[in-house]
Amino acid sequence: MARARKVTVSTDVHGHTAGWSETPEDTPATSVPDPTAAAFFDVDNTMMQGASIYWFARGLAARNYFTTGDLARFAWQQARFRLLATEHAGDMSQAKEAALAFIQGWRVDDVERLAEEIFDELMAPRIWAGTRRLAQRHLAAGERVWLVSAAPVEIGRVIAARLGLTGAIGTVAEVVDGAYTGRLVGDLMHGPAKADAVTQLAAVEGLDLSRCAAYSDSVNDLPMLSVVGRPVAINPDPALLRQARRRGWDVRDFRTGRRAVRIAVPSTAAAGLLVGAVSAGLALHRRRHRAG
């Protein structure tokens, strides 16, 4: 698949850094282009069932980067963090450090190649058909559609390209000579950072946020939902559902029967735990490879 290599990084007057990347110019043709309206979709539990970083880790485990036992243990830690709702400054710092460890030394080409393979194997079957239809409606109306995720922007871009969307906003890692340095450019794309990124992208692209839509399952994305004129709660958690009802927002739930069990990264702290597991697995794989 042809890749759009360029990642745009923008810093606003408040020092908030955002990064986004467009997919190749081979997305489906739209009707009448609308340059001032766009849609922004969260990924985890909004566009797909579960978390993209979890499925990425599952794919790495299948390739013997680490064991399924390691994966199960860190999946349990994700669930514990959701139940305890632990997310404070220390957790945020730990998550960022784990993200740095995950990417250090890896080549962008390798991450994108693995993301493509793992999307086709594990993520594609878990895309919510209803959410994808909503995205296609925006495209058909001539609007651009962006994914917004805490995952590295390169992984978000692969998912966007596979779904025929405009591009992705995500966490930006520093790259030198095609390899990750282990440093982030700005912070994790989470919570208020998503709203900042959407606002910056709107300024650069000439979007009218009052005409834009945003979709998410999590109350953590309340800032992003609040900066657009058409916020929609998708498969909402209880806290977001309460907010959506109070504010009169549209609610769509594509889960059937009993609420789906979420294999998710509900907080930045949990993201750090899982990324730490991936990091340890990659390090172990590299050691085994050198030893062999």
Catalytic residues: 42, 44
Degrees to nearest 5, angle at CA 32 with 31 and 33 = 110
Distance CA 78, CA 268 (A): 10
Distance CA 5, CA 10 (A): 16
SS3 state of residue 233: strand
Phi, psi of 27 (to 5 degrees): -75, 160
Other CB atoms within a 10 A radius of the CB of residue 107 amount to: 13
Q: Where are the alpha helices (DSSP H) in the chain?
A: 52-62, 68-84, 89-103, 108-118, 129-140, 153-163, 192-205, 222-226, 238-247, 268-291
Under a CB-based contact definition with an 8 Å cutoff, are residues 173 and 103 in contact?
yes
Tokens representing residue 187 in the block: 């912070």
Distance CA 30, CA 166 (A): 11
Under a CB-based contact definition with an 8 Å cutoff, are residues 21 and 165 in contact?
no
From residue 109, how far is each of 65, 115, 122, 146, 156 by CA, in Å? 17, 10, 20, 22, 14
Distance CA 179, CA 168 (A): 20
Under a CB-based contact definition with an 8 Å cutoff, are residues 271 and 150 in contact?
yes
